[in-house]
Amino acid sequence: MYGWIWRHLPGGAALRTAQALVLVLAVVALLLFVVFPWVEPRLPFTSVTVGS
Amino acid sequence: MSSTLDVEAPATDPRDEPPARHRSSGDVARTVVRGISQTLITLGLVALLFVVYQLWVTDLLAARAQDRLTEQLQDQWAGSPALDTPGATDPTEGTPPADGSAPPTHTPAPIEAGIGDPFAILHIPRLGDDYARVVVQGSSEVQLEQGPGHYVDTAMPGEQGNFSVAGHRVGRGSPFLDLDRMRPGDAIVVETADSWFVYRVLGDPATGEFTGDPTGIPGREVVRPSQVSVIAPTPGGGEPTGAYLTLTTCHPRYSAAQRLILHARLDGAPISKAAAPDGPAALAG
């Protein structure tokens, strides 16, 4: 998967590294600010209230 | 041959060209294994990132929410008519009532807060001299993301009944992380627009036992998540018999299997903010 992405990025090694870094940061941001906030209330770790 | 390659495709990765020979079964197996291992490594990294999110990123978000709520509350209180009583505008004078009577008993104004609105500040000296968290109305996840949340159907600070507040133990600023460090007799001070309310954790301060209160209500207990009687008007159940405060959080840490509950009772009359702008003595420790 990572090899496939690497091969499909244009440019030389330096340019590809920069693009790969941007892709990684984009995925991290997507996880931190969209996916995790959505997933969190559905997981059982964060319940602090009493109730049925 | 090699010179031809050098000239024709100097910038192309040789792997871009599909090999002319038929893929052997070994190649397929290698590709499959590589794909599985990369997926597993990726899942591991995502799980690690989630831990980072839960432990640190939510703290940052909650700290920002608390700052915003503090500002909102200060604005709200600055414009509150409850503080425009004589003496409140000039606390430096501090003159006692001129008519020679005992200081009038302070009657706090009733508090009304819509869902999500901040309405009080929780001070717990045991958890730090500067421990102060803005309490918002409502105890669903949206409110608890910002700070401790008040169970809507329970009493307001100082009222007869049970002022009950839920808060996160880990993540989201971890307001109630160290609730297990509380000891019997510890002060929990609630600040509202016009008053200070001092609650004390139930139990025997001399022995450190949480049991032994004449009412039979323990100062601390660990219960099942379904045990709603801990936030009943009198903790444990029954009609209101006093002004209580109850804090709920998850237990043990990093788990939601049980709930850690702290019960406290109002200690003394509410103190007017006009009389004590810097807070009651209990706040100092």
B10: pLDDT strictly greater than 60: no
Of A28, A41, A49, the CB nearest to B139: A49
Please list the helix, strand and coil fractions of chain B in percent, rounded to the nearest 5, in that order.
30, 20, 50
Query: What is the average pLDDT across B71-80?
Result: 86
- B114 SS3 class: coil
pLDDT for B89 equals 41
Superfamily of domain B51-89+108-284: Sortase (2.40.260.10)
A26: pLDDT strictly greater than 80: yes
Query: What is the average pLDDT across B217-228?
Result: 91
Q: Which residues of chain B lie closer than 8 angstroms to A49, CB-CB?
A: 139, 144, 149, 151, 166, 225, 248, 259
Contact between chains at A50 and B228 (C-beta distance less than 8 A): yes
Size of interface A-B (CB pairs under 8 A): 79
pLDDT for B129 equals 87
Tokens of B181: 């460090």
| pLDDT single digits (tens) B33-49 | 999 999 999 999 999 99
Taking the C-alpha atoms of residue B204 and residue B218, their distance in angstroms, rounded to an integer, is 10
Residue boundaries of the structural domains of chain B: 51-89+108-284
- B8 SS3 class: helix
**Which element (helix H / strand E) includes B119?**
strand B118-123
pLDDT for B243 equals 93
Taking the C-alpha atoms of residue B111 and residue B136, their distance in angstroms, rounded to an integer, is 12
B237 in contact with A, Cβ within 8 Å: no
B127: pLDDT strictly greater than 50: yes
Instruction: Calculate what percentage of chain B has a pLDDT beyond 90.
Output: 41
Taking the C-alpha atoms of residue B80 and residue B271, their distance in angstroms, rounded to an integer, is 17
Query: What is the average pLDDT across B65-78?
Result: 91
Taking the C-alpha atoms of residue B17 and residue B38, their distance in angstroms, rounded to an integer, is 23
pLDDT for B110 equals 82
Query: What is the average pLDDT across B193-218?
Result: 90
B7: pLDDT strictly greater than 50: no
Contact between chains at A48 and B54 (C-beta distance less than 8 A): no
Looking from the CA of B224 toward its CB, the CA atoms found within 13 Å total 3
B18: pLDDT strictly greater than 80: no
Q: Which residues of chain B lie closer than 8 angstroms to A2, CB-CB?
A: 38
